[in-house]
Amino acid sequence: MIRDLGHVIDREKSDIGVFICLDKPTRPMLEEAALKGFYNSPNGKDYPRIQILTIEEIFQGKTAETPAWLAPIPKAPAVKKARGKTARLL
């Protein structure tokens, strides 16, 4: 499946792909991901082209390593809840 993701990255001309799995990645999975090399960003930092995250890591707050401008989903600002009376709807 990692190899398939690598082909999709190439076909779609993507810089980075993230593979999410339930269990820890196996050695062959890690080796296949490493074969894709690194994305060299304009800021001079290198990022693995294929990154593997487990569901557990995601729940612990880990995210894929990406340059700031590649962040897939920006966080919405916190909503302040109004205290006191509820406004009348009708």
Q: Which pLDDT tens digit goes with each residue over 29-57?
A: 999 999 999 999 988 899 999 999 999 99
Residue 33 lies in a domain: yes
pLDDT at 23: 96
pTM to 2 decimal places: 0.71
Instruction: Give the structural domain span for 34.
Output: 2-68
Q: What share of the chain is helix, strand, coil (3-state, %, to 5)?
A: 30, 20, 50
Does residue 70 register a pLDDT over 60? no
What does the pLDDT read at residue 71? 54
Q: Is 88 among the domain residues?
A: no
Query: What gap in Å lies between CA 50 and CA 39, rounded to an integer?
Result: 9
Residue 76 lies in a domain: no
Question: Cα–Cα distance between 63 and 30 in angstroms, integer?
Answer: 17
Longest dimension (CA), the chain: 62
Q: How many domains does the chain have?
A: 1
Q: What is the mean pLDDT of the chain?
A: 88
Q: Mean pLDDT throughout 8-13?
A: 94
Read off the pLDDT of each residue in 63-82 and give the average, rounded to a whole number.
73
